[in-house]
């Protein structure tokens, strides 16, 4: 049936009798007129044309087929087979850190078999029955189940050497270099580094306004952020990413503060490509202790201290031990860190808006009203300095700030 359908090459495996029997069936089909000899020759010609692209001479000298050469030939074939399986085994996707698994690891491994029969026997035992397509395994079975199956390794034959090559990849003995033979052509996104010129900053700002209409940002404030030190920003005609390097105690850290793609172009890999580009730039020529999404908070206190703006932060002390037990930013519009907070001017009080952020209370002092007292004193201090409205940039504990009259502005 396969040859009648136009197949050029049919693989018959498992037993010599099955292989010889298949050849006899083809010969009988040609003699009976069920198959055409001309069609067979056309298939041979197509296969020879394909082989000629890879080898110049694929005729096998009869002398090499003697029994005395069989052992040496088998060794060569096994070596080639092992190499081929190793090169073809494919990691379709994986969660960072899932593998390779250290051979000495104490992780428990569960092997799930499709049935009680040994692997391979099902195909042999059902060889005379019609194939039921829903029951055939495929290399592409789990392409769409990305949430359910996050680690996905595939090979292309259900035999021991192929399984061994997969195990070698999982346990780090070999490095996977295989790729799915059939798949969508990866899209090439033309992403470039932001030049920080007025023109390109305006282009990014226009993208921002379209991508985040509920979170408008002033062009001047955005430009200040984009031109900051140690920044690595990238732009595409349909999206952008903003990222920075910062140092704590002499150790480098990276942060990706914003990534956006126009709604009509989302879901096509551009956001992933932008993140990958930023990550590559942040890691270039340096090691990072961490890479985070969003902004940090420790550096805000460091910037204020470096600018001698100690009055822009408040610290609570334990009266008995003199130990620090609470901290908060209480920044006026003149604080050096205020431009880092892109949305502060969205409040009705505009340029008279101050900032409370990075509020923290030592674990041992929690539940004693320290945080509440700290905020009350901070707000009083800010009012004395002419601040008319206060933005709390992000909130993790709902209901706490509302006790002082704060309301949710955006979510």
Answer whether residue 120 shows pLDDT above 60. no
pLDDT tens-digit readout, 295-314: 667 778 888 888 899 999 99
**Predicted local distance difference test score (pLDDT) of residue 151:** 87
Q: What are the angstrom distances between the C-alpha of 36 and each of 19, 20, 28, 381?
A: 20, 20, 11, 96
Computed over every residue of the chain, the mean pLDDT equals 84
Mean pLDDT of 265-272: 89
End-of-domain residue from the set 181, 203, 236 = 181
Q: What band does 332 get if pLDDT is binned at 50, 70 and 90?
A: very high
Would you say residue 328 lies in a domain? yes
Tokens of 226: 């984009």
Contacts 24+ apart (CB under 8 A), 379-383: 379/330, 379/404, 381/314, 381/330, 382/330, 382/332, 382/354, 382/356
Do both 255 and 324 map to the same domain? no
Would you say residue 77 lies in a domain? no
- Helices then strands, counting H and E runs in the chain, come out as 10, 11
Greater confidence, 149 or 185?
Answer: 149
Q: What band does 121 get if pLDDT is binned at 50, 70 and 90?
A: very low
Number of domains in the chain: 4
Query: Which is nearest to 273 in space by CA: 235, 227, 225?
Result: 235
pLDDT tens-digit readout, 225-252: 899 888 999 999 999 999 998 887 788 8
Do both 373 and 322 map to the same domain? yes
Would you say residue 36 lies in a domain? yes
Do both 337 and 278 map to the same domain? no
Domain range for 374 is: 298-404
Answer whether residue 257 shows pLDDT above 70. yes
Do both 266 and 305 map to the same domain? no
What does the DSSP 8-state code read for residue 76?
H
Do both 225 and 265 map to the same domain? yes
Contact 354/382 with Cβ under 8 angstroms? yes
**Predicted local distance difference test score (pLDDT) of residue 400:** 82
Would you say residue 250 lies in a domain? yes
Is the CA virtual torsion 36, 42, 46, 48 positive or negative?
positive
**Predicted local distance difference test score (pLDDT) of residue 250:** 82
Mean pLDDT of 332-348: 83
Tell me the C-alpha distance between 269 and 193, whole Å: 18
Mean pLDDT of 253-270: 91
pLDDT tens-digit readout, 348-370: 888 899 998 878 899 888 888 89
List phi, psi (to 5°) of 86.
-65, -40
Greater confidence, 343 or 154?
Answer: 154
Would you say residue 65 lies in a domain? no
Query: If 0-12 CB within 10 Å is exposed, 13-18 middle and 19+ buried, where does residue 215 land?
Result: middle
pLDDT tens-digit readout, 383-407: 999 999 998 877 777 788 888 888 8
Please report which helix (H) or strand (E) contains residue 239, including its range: strand 239-248
Query: Within 13 A of 313's CA, how many CA atoms are on the CB side?
Result: 26
Do both 337 and 388 map to the same domain? yes
Do both 289 and 204 map to the same domain? yes
Contact 233/243 with Cβ under 8 angstroms? yes
Do both 161 and 220 map to the same domain? no
Greater confidence, 65 or 213?
Answer: 213
The b/e string for 385-398 (b: 16+ C-beta within 10 A; e otherwise) is eebeebbbbeeeee
Query: If 0-12 CB within 10 Å is exposed, 13-18 middle and 19+ buried, where does residue 129 land?
Result: exposed
Do both 177 and 204 map to the same domain? no
Tell me the C-alpha distance between 205 and 209, whole Å: 6
**Predicted local distance difference test score (pLDDT) of residue 381:** 94
């Amino acid at each position: 049936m396969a040859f009648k359908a136009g197949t050029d090459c049919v693989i018959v495996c498992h037993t010599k009798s099955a292989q010889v029997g298949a050849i006899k069936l083809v010969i009988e089909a040609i003699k009976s007129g069920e198959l055409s000899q001309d069609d067979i020759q056309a298939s041979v010609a197509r296969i020879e044309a394909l082989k000629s692209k890879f080898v110049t001479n694929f005729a096998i000298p009869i002398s090499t087929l003697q029994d005395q050469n069989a052992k040496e030939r088998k060794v060569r074939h096994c070596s080639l087979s092992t190499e081929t399986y190793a090169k073809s085994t494919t990691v379709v996707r994986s969660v960072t850190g899932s593998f390779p698994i250290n051979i000495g690891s104490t992780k428990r491994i569960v092997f799930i078999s499709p049935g009680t029969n040994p692997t391979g026997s099902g195909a042999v035992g059902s060889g005379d029955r019609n194939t039921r397509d829903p029951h055939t395994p495929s290399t592409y079975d789990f392409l769409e189940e990305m949430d359910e199956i996050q680690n996905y390794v595939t090979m292309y034959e259900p035999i021991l050497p192929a399984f061994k090559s997969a195990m070698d990849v999982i346990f780090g003995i070999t490095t996977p270099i295989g790729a799915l033979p059939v798949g969508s052509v990866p899209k090439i996104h033309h992403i470039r580094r932001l030049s920080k010129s007025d023109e390109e900053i305006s282009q990014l700002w226009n993208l921002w306004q379209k991508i985040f209409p509920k979170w408008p940002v002033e062009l001047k404030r955005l430009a200040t952020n984009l031109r900051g030190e140690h920044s690595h920003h990238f732009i595409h005609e349909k999206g952008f990413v903003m990222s920075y390097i910062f140092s704590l105690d002499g150790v480098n850290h990276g942060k990706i503060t914003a990534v956006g793609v126009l709604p009509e172009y989302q879901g096509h890999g551009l956001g992933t490509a932008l993140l990958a580009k930023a990550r590559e730039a942040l890691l270039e020529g340096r090691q990072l202790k961490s890479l985070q999404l969003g902004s940090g908070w420790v550096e805000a206190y460091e910037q204020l201290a470096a600018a001698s703006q100690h009055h822009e932060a408040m610290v609570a002390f334990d009266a008995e031990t003199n130990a620090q037990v609470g901290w908060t930013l209480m920044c006026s519009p003149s604080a050096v860190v205020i431009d880092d907070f892109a949305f502060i001017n969205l409040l009705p009080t505009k340029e008279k808006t101050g900032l409370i952020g990075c509020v923290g209370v030592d674990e041992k002092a929690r539940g004693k009203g320290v945080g509440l007292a700290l905020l009350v004193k901070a707000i009083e201090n800010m009012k004395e300095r002419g601040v008319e409205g206060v933005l709390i940039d992000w909130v993790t504990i709902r209901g706490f700030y509302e006790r002082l009259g704060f309301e949710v502005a955006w979510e």
